[in-house]
Amino acid sequence: MELKTIRQVSLDYGISRQMLCYYEEIGLIKSSRKDDYAYRVYDENAIKQLQQIIILRKLQIPMKQIKNVLNNENAVAVIEIFRQNISELDEQIIALSVVKSILTRLVEELQEKADIHLKPDILNDKTMLNVVSSLSFSENKINNAKGNVTMETMEELNNAHETLSKLKRSDGQVRIVYVPPMTVAAHGVIGEEERKIAEKFVQERGILKIKPDVRVFAVFHCSIEDLKDLDTQSDEGWASIPDDMELPAFLTKKTFEGGLYAAYAGIENVEGFRALAEWVNASEKFEIADDGRPLFDECLDAYHLINGDLKQGTGELQGDLLIPIKRK
């Protein structure tokens, strides 16, 4: 098989160069170099490995588990990983079935009560309110409901709602934080040469001595709806810097105005951002802000990341997903 360049692989499989580099960085695939050729190339084995990764991602297998699957020769261990994911899918299927049954009943009630032209106040009918109240997830409304809504139905619906709306990671909580104004060094996709320049720049300028409280972000200049791919990568990388710092050519100095964010400990992917957005949408106090501020994935230990003590894909790297919000 002919060696393929990183550009060819990116186009053939619809994967960003940054994601291919990430896969290589965490040890999922390997590239090689041609003599007198500056870019990565991939052989047949790397392409086959990539195809497996793509299939597993489309099957909703988390990245950490994919690494275990591909690097594990023990079939029993791999089967157990898949069974865990099947169990989670079963929970979601049951939850969706409960929601579907409630919606089906609501449709049936509306069809019985409605005329050919639905009246604007159709949901004010007592029977309709009884059905709709089962979607409010309020214990007070359960106690006050008459007729159609039963405790058993409500309990099933509450369980379904919790299953479908919970964030993927159960070891953290949503927090409301203020990200302060800051000057940042911004970059797009970094190639090998730029990475070397960046490392040299960090070493020579002593960034960690000048700014030990440095913050590092993966930045998404889009809405939640525009995040299509589970492996969507950031548009830019940001690192906070002193206002008067001079930057090498491939870095751009930008000013972030700051603002209120909903934060949750998680990994950069669409599922995490969407789950956090659902939490915000369900909040009585906050809503997503459409004011041009970006989505963030912040490294929570930027100092040691820049210092080279932490590596992506090792499980040591911790991050926050951040969505811009405002008070209602």
Please identify, among 106, 132, 165, the residue that sits at the C-terminal boundary of a domain: 165
**Residue 83 is assigned to a structural domain of this protein:** no
**Residue 79 is assigned to a structural domain of this protein:** no
Same domain, 25 and 140: no
3-class state of residue 163 by DSSP: helix
Tally of structural domains, the chain = 3
**Residue 170 is assigned to a structural domain of this protein:** no
Same domain, 184 and 64: no
CA distance readout (Å), 113 to 100, 104, 226, 319: 20, 14, 39, 51
Can you tell me the mean pLDDT for 7-13? Answer: 84
CA distance readout (Å), 112 to 123, 127, 129, 228: 13, 11, 14, 39
What sign does the dihedral 274-276-282-288 (CA atoms) show? negative
Q: What is the DSSP string of 94-125?
A: HHHHHHHHHHHHHHHHHHHH--SS--TTGGGS
Q: How confident is the model at residue 162 (pLDDT cuts 50, 70, 90)?
A: low
**Residue 320 is assigned to a structural domain of this protein:** yes
Same domain, 141 and 245: no
Q: What is the DSSP letter of 232?
A: -
Q: What pLDDT is recorded for position 168?
A: 42
**Residue 78 is assigned to a structural domain of this protein:** no
Q: pLDDT for 99-123, tens place per residue?
A: 788 778 777 777 776 554 555 555 5
CATH of the domain at 252: 3.20.80.10
| pTM greater than 0.85 (yes/no) | no
Query: Looking at the predicted structure, is the pLDDT value of residue 63 above 60?
Result: yes
Can you tell me the mean pLDDT for 10-33? Answer: 79
Same domain, 281 and 305: yes
Q: What is the C-alpha separation between 274 and 271, in angstroms, rounded? A: 5
What are the tokens at 232? 């969507």
Same domain, 57 and 29: yes
Q: What pLDDT is recorded for position 180?
A: 94
Q: How confident is the model at residue 156 (pLDDT cuts 50, 70, 90)?
A: low
Domain that residue 289 falls in: 175-327
Q: pLDDT for 42-58, tens place per residue?
A: 888 888 888 888 888 87
3-class state of residue 325 by DSSP: strand
Same domain, 97 and 161: yes
**Residue 80 is assigned to a structural domain of this protein:** no
Alpha-carbon radius of gyration of the chain: 24
Can you tell me the mean pLDDT for 208-223? Answer: 85
Same domain, 112 and 19: no
Cβ count within 10 A of residue 254: 14
**Residue 81 is assigned to a structural domain of this protein:** no
| Inter-axis angle of helices 17-25 and 44-58, nearest 10 | 100
Same domain, 130 and 217: no
Same domain, 26 and 103: no
Can you tell me the mean pLDDT for 262-280? Answer: 77
Please identify, among 36, 70, 104, the residue that sits at the C-terminal boundary of a domain: 70
Q: What is the C-alpha separation between 174 and 186, in angstroms, rounded? A: 27
Residue whose C-alpha is closest to residue 131's, from 155, 107, 162, 114: 107
Same domain, 318 and 200: yes
CA distance readout (Å), 321 to 87, 147, 195: 26, 43, 24
CATH of the domain at 31: 1.10.1660.10
Residue whose C-alpha is closest to residue 321's, from 261, 281, 231, 240: 261
Q: How confident is the model at residue 295 (pLDDT cuts 50, 70, 90)?
A: very high
**Residue 238 is assigned to a structural domain of this protein:** yes
Please identify, among 70, 104, 119, the residue that sits at the C-terminal boundary of a domain: 70
